[in-house]
Structure formats: structure tokens, C-alpha cells
Amino acid sequence: MHLNKTEFRHLLHRWNFVTLLVLAVVLLIRNVSAQDAGSLRISDSIRIATLENRFENFLYEKQADSARAAADSLIAFALRTENYRYVAVGYLNRALTEQSVNNNEGFVEYLQRSIPWYLKGNEPLGAAMAHTMIGQTLEREEPDRAIDQYRASLEIRRQAADSAGVASNLAGIGNVYDRIGKAGNAGQYYLEAAEISEKTGNTRLRAHTLASLGNLYERQGRDSDSRKYLKQSLALYKPSGSPAMLFSLNKSIGDSYFRQGLSDSARLNYEEALALSKNTSAGGQGMLQITYNLGVIAAKNHDTAAAQTYFGQALLFSEKMGDTSAERLSLAGLASLKPRKKPVSPPDYVLLALIRKTTSLSAKERLEAYHSLDAYLQTRGNPADAAHYSARYRMLRDSLLVDEMQAQLQVLGTVRESLVSDLRDTNALRVRYEHEHKQQKRLILISFLIVISLAAGLLVYRFAGKKGRQLQESGGTN
């Protein structure tokens, strides 16, 4: 069949018109799909955030059943939307719920369930965190399994170049080996953890691992090595460590010196521990040992009055604890003392140590020293000096309270700014969502009008073409 020029032109115009119509329909579908996908992503994020907030509120209010339901809802929704990261978060939330009711088996079970979802959701450090938490839970009951979990976490963190996490897991493995009596392995892991934590600037973890290493060597009788690491740990803990930790470290260092006969060095650390004991619950066997050893040191230095004081304190501790063996030792120490012909006023080592602390650069240490001096001088029958230090304590305390209140006001101001910013972002997100929704409707309407117009044009074109052909045919016939 041959087409003349007029018929070919009509056919070409009709083809272009149909192509344009198809392209308009495709554009309409694509715009609608894109708008729907964007709206769906925003809707999913809002839904997930709502479920997370519900879970946190229920867990905080100790409503375990409601917390479980919120976690299960998050898991189901995340599975439906293929958000694998939040599937893992849902299982983590279930684990935390079981932990809140002391169900360790459930805690471990749900942590294990979270691991493959973290990996599937491209969150390897989340999986490493779950392995570490399982290892910490199993340290006492299942040490071998705990080590396996720590190693699994270690492998992931090394691949992710997470140095801080690597050091933490190495310290965890060291703790397990230390607990089951494998000192050589424990020391190796402690040293490696301490070296990495120093490079990463993790002071608290380094102080902890050095203290663990020092205690390990102390149990092995390696006093020089023990003191080396305990002193390093003490230096790191001093600026912000708890009084109980500082007490323990000073006592351990003092014990090490005492075992080697280095009495003067031992006495300095023991006195520091005694000064700290007033601001901590430390006591019992530790205080009994310190006071008895100080009595031995004072007796060796022919300081009868100080020896009587320390042996007397040791006797009181032993009677309070019901330790008959220590009671006999304290009594024997008192009985061994020979009074001087000329009584000599002994140096008050505790008072000297406390006064020395009042010159500290740390305001917290000075405050503790003033408070301790007030209480100590009251017991020594010196109320005038006690009142002097009490006044200095109150002045410094009020000054620190003012500084703390100012710092809290600054923090509250920062929090307020953050909340205002979050509210602004939320409003912006809502406005954006409404704008996109309106834009979606506008595009749908425009696309629909385009399709209607093209369809109407096609009908008119066909009708006009048909009439033209009829006229041509009728003209040709005539």
C-alpha cells in the first residue's frame, strides 16, 4: 500500500500526538509515585519515632508488659517497611525490657536476635555492641562463652577501625581470664587495652585497666610491678575518681610498700587512704588492715602514742567485725608497747595529711579537707580550730554551689535552645510535608487536565480527519 504526502502527514501528526499522550501519562504516574514514596518515608520516620518514645516512657515507668508491646510493634513495623536497622533496635528494646525485670536469659536471647538484623541493616557497630553486652552478662556464669562474645565484638570493631571499642573488649577479655585464674592471658590483654586507650585518649578506661593490672601483679607477689601500674592508675583517677576508688588504690600501694619493709612510703599512702575514708563508705577489713599496719610502723619508729592510737583503732574495727584473730593481734600490739620515760607529743600524721590537702589546686579536695579537719578537730577536743575550718568549709561550699548553679543555668539555656531548635525543625518538617502534599495534588490535577486536553484534541483531530476524508472521497466520486 502506498501513501500520498497528505496521508503520510496525517499519520505522522497522529503518531506524535499519541506519543505525547503516552509521555504525559508516564509523567503523571512517575510524579505521583515519587510524591507517595517521599510521603511514605516521612510517615515511616514519624511512626518509628512514636514507637521509640512510647517504649522509652514505658521502660522508665517500669511498665514491662507495655514496653514489650511497644518493642514488638516496632519490630513488626520495621519488618513490614524493610527497615532492618530498626528491627535490630526493636530486639534491643526487648532485651532491655527483660533486663529491667532481672531476666538475664531473655536479655541475652533478644540481644542475640538483634545481631543479624544489625548486620543486615549495615550497622556493624550495633552488632558489636550487642556481642559486648552479652559478654559482660556472661562473665561470671559462662566465662568461655563470654570470651567468645568479646572476640566476636573485637573482630567487628577492628574491621570498623573502632579503637575505643577494641580497647574496651580487650579489657573485658582480660577481666574474664583474670577471674578464672589465667593471669598470663589476663595481663597480656590488660596491657594491650591500656596501650590502645592511651592512644585514643580514653583516660578512664586506661586508669581501670592499669588498676586491674596492678591488682593482678599484687596477687602474684610482684610488688614493684604492681606499684608501677597502681601509681599510674592513681594519677589518672585523682582529678575525677571516686573517693572509694582512690582509697582502694592508696591502700594497695601502701600494702605493697609495707610488704617490702618500706615503712615511710607505706605510711604516706595509708594516711592518704585514712583521709579519704571519711568521704566514702570504705571501712571494714580495709580500715582494720591499714590501722594495724600503721600501728606496726609507729611501734617500729618508737612512736608509742601513735602506735597506741592505731592499735586501738584496729581493736575497735576487729571487735565491730567479730574478727577474733585480728582482735588478738591488736591486743598483742598494744601489750608490746613500752611507755617512754619522758612523754613526747607524737606528730599527728592524720592532721598533717589533712592540712597538706588544704593547699591542693582542686577545690573539691580542699572542700573535703576542710570538712574532715572540722570533724577531726572536734573529736580531738579542739573546737576553736574546728570552727575555723568549718567556716572555711561553708565559704568554699557556697562558692562552689554558686558556680554549679551558674553552670546548670548555662546547661539549661543550651537545652532550651536545643528544644527550640527541635521545635523549629519539627514545624519546618510539618510545613514541608503540607507543601509537598499540596504540590502533589496540584501536579495530579495538572497532569489530569493535560490528559483530558490531549484526549479531547485527539477526538477532535480524528473527527476532523474523518470529515476531510469523506469530503475528499465525495469530491473524487463527483
pLDDT of residue 244: 83
Global pTM reads: 0.59
Mean confidence (pLDDT) of the chain? 80
Q: Which of 24-28, 85-89, 303-307, 351-355 is predicted with the least confidence, judged by mean pLDDT? A: 24-28
Confidence of residue 28 (pLDDT cuts 50, 70, 90): very low
CA angle 5, 9, 14 (to 5 degrees): 150
pLDDT of residue 468: 66
CB atoms within 10 A of CB 23: 12
CB atoms within 10 A of CB 202: 19
pLDDT of residue 36: 43
* pLDDT per residue as tens digits for the range 178-196: 888 888 888 899 999 999 9
* pLDDT per residue as tens digits for the range 66-111: 989 988 988 988 888 888 888 889 899 999 999 999 999 999 999 9
- 378 within 8 A of 386, measured Cβ to Cβ: yes
The helix/strand/coil state of 401 is helix
pLDDT of residue 116: 93
Q: For residue 341, give the C-alpha cell.
A: 620515760
Cβ neighbors of 19 (< 8 A, separation 6 or more) are none
Q: Where are the domains of the chain?
A: 258-357
**What does the chain come to in residues?**
478
Whether the per-residue pLDDT at 9 is higher than 70: the answer is no
- 216 within 8 A of 186, measured Cβ to Cβ: yes
Helix spans in 61-123 (H): 64-80, 84-100, 104-120
